[in-house]
Amino acid sequence: MKFSRAKIVGSRRSLTANGSRKPEVKNSSTCHVTMKQSLIAVLILLFTASLTFAQATVSPVEDELDIRVRNLSQQLRCLVCQNETLADSQADLAADLKRQIREQMKAGKSDEEILAFLTDRYGDFVLYRPPVKRRTYLLWFGPFILLGLGLFGLFRYIRSRREEIQEQPLSAEEHKRARELLHTDSEKEPA
């Protein structure tokens, strides 16, 4: 099925307001799909669904290379629409990057080599799964440190509560005083 083929949004350029410091990308509008646009998209999809089913019998659905490209690009972040994977992104740059990934796969490069190619150019930012290195120790292990601190605090709190609540038996001295107080009270009361 080739649902993703449906071109959802036309190229509406120059959306960025003048003076904005945001770098621009061709078809930058594809990031921001409005209500109306998504409605149109749904209609288009409904309409084309029958067509694509018919098509599927003619052309092979996805070959091995397609699957490899998709699997790899699902681990990568699109730099234009930063919360989209490269696989999902319709941005022009994403298409270019996917083309390069495909070419390099055809040339026999391994996934690791292709990831290195991309991180050399765009940094670790393109990886949805950041590598474990000194700079990312806090990112990877910070949550466990926080969890440890939280547990430590919790145990300390529980222990201190237990000490506070614990029944402290009266000493002999205190017993004697209590009895005296009770006696004097009971003697005075009827008077």
- DSSP structure string for 126-181: GBSS---SGGGHHHHHHHHHHHHHHHHHHHHHHHHHHHHHS--PPPHHHHHHHHHH
Residues in contact with 77: Cβ distance below 8 Å, sequence separation at least 6, in sequence order: 84, 85, 86, 125, 126, 127, 128
Nearer of residues 18 and 50 to other proteins, judged by Cβ? 18
Cα angle for residues 43, 47, 48 (degrees, 5° grid): 115
C-beta separation of 72 from 101 below 8 A: yes
Among the listed ranges 21-29, 107-115, 133-141, 143-151, the one in contact with other proteins (CB under 8 A) is: 21-29
Report, in Å, the least distance between residue 178 CB and other proteins: 33
106 is a contact residue toward other proteins (CB under 8 A): no
* 122 is a site residue for other proteins (CB under 8 A): yes
Contact between 134 and other proteins per CB under 8 A: no
Taking CB under 8 A as the binding criterion, the range among 15-23, 58-66, 155-163, 182-190 that sits at the site for other proteins is: 15-23
Residue of 34, 82, 110, 136 that binds other proteins (CB under 8 A): 82
Give me the least distance between CB of 113 and other proteins, in Å please.
15
Our CB check for other proteins shows the closer of 38 and 82 to be 82
- CA 80, CA 30: separation in Å to the nearest integer? 10
